[in-house]
Every structure is written in C-alpha cells, then in structure tokens.
Amino acid sequence: MVEDRVLEIVVLLMTHIKETRGQLENLEDISDALKSQGFTENEISSAYSWVLDQLQTDSQLIQNLSRSNHSFRILSDVERHHFLPEAFGYLLQLKHLGLLSDGQLELILERGLMMGPPPIDLDQIRMVIGTVLFHETGRPELIRQPAYFFNDEDGLIN
C-alpha cells in the first residue's frame, strides 16, 4: 500500500510541476499540505526523492513537462473490455504528466491484460504502474509486488 501512496504523491507533485511550468517551489508548504492529508514523512520523502532523481537524470521527463503531447492511445476491443474507464483514464493522466513513456504505457497495458479476469480497476492498475515505474527507475524498495511482471534470471516473465 505504501507504493500506492508514494505514487499518489508523485502524481500530485508532477501535477504541481506541470501547472507551474517546471518549477518545484514551496516544498515545505507542499509537504505540510500532504501531511495534513494523512501522508507520512517517509512517503513524502520517498516521493520527493523519486521526482527529484527523475528530474535530474531524465531529460526526456523535463521535455515532456514543457510540451503538450497531442497523441493519444486508443484501446482495442479486448483492452476496452479488460480495463475500467477510470483505470485507463489514470494511465492517460500519468502519460499527460510525463510520468509514463509510450513504451511504459504499452508495458502497463500488456501486464494489465495478464493480471487475470477483467475488469482491471484503478487499484489494480496502480499496482502495475508502481511496479513498472519504480522498477525501471531503480527504486525497487518502493515496489509492493517486486516479483511480478519482470524477467527472471532465465528470461521468463513472472
């Protein structure tokens, strides 16, 4: 559950950064607001750390923040029946914020299709998003289900 809460803070921070055109100001005020919403100091710190690491190491993320992407992903019939609208809407929100690349979006949709019987809801898609996002960026300690969705030593997907 910590992973979901950290992801929620990351989304809030990225929304703030996008709205302020790339500026991350008033961190203390933002932290106080997050604490008043029930987030812990550890969750807030983990989210800040992840966002700042991404901003420092991922020039693509910075470019995504400053430009608007007018492309969008249309679900196939199978995907449309497999994902609830709020789950896909959340994916689109993260894509719009620059948190997900096209490749990551496709990977999450693929993993979501493998999760089991439809429909995939918002909580389930958040688990997949957190796993993909935090695994690819080298923050496995933030992953709730680290064994899922990745190649094992034999190259097989778990």
Complete DSSP assignment for 40-102: -HHHHHHHHHHHHHHHHH-HHHHHHHHS-----PPPPHHHHHHB-HHHHHHHHHHHHTTSS-H
CA distance 114 to 45: 32
Q: Among the listed ranges 23-27, 46-50, 88-92, 152-156, which one has the minimum average pLDDT value?
A: 152-156
Contact of 44 with 34, CB cutoff 8 Å: yes
Secondary structure of residue 120 in the 3-state scheme: strand
Mean pLDDT of 32-61: 86
pLDDT of residue 59: 57
pTM given for the model: 0.73
Provide the 10 A C-beta neighbour count for residue 18.
16
Secondary structure of residue 20 in the 3-state scheme: coil
Mean pLDDT of 2-7: 82
- Where do the structural domains in the chain lie, given as residue ranges? 2-142
Which of the four pLDDT bands, split at 50, 70 and 90, describes residue 156? very low
What percent of the chain has pLDDT above 90? Answer: 35
Provide the 10 A C-beta neighbour count for residue 11.
18
Mean pLDDT of the chain: 80
Mean pLDDT of 82-98: 91
CA distance 66 to 100: 15
pLDDT of residue 71: 65
CA distance 112 to 84: 11
pLDDT of residue 66: 52
pLDDT tens profile 61-79: 655 555 555 566 788 888 9
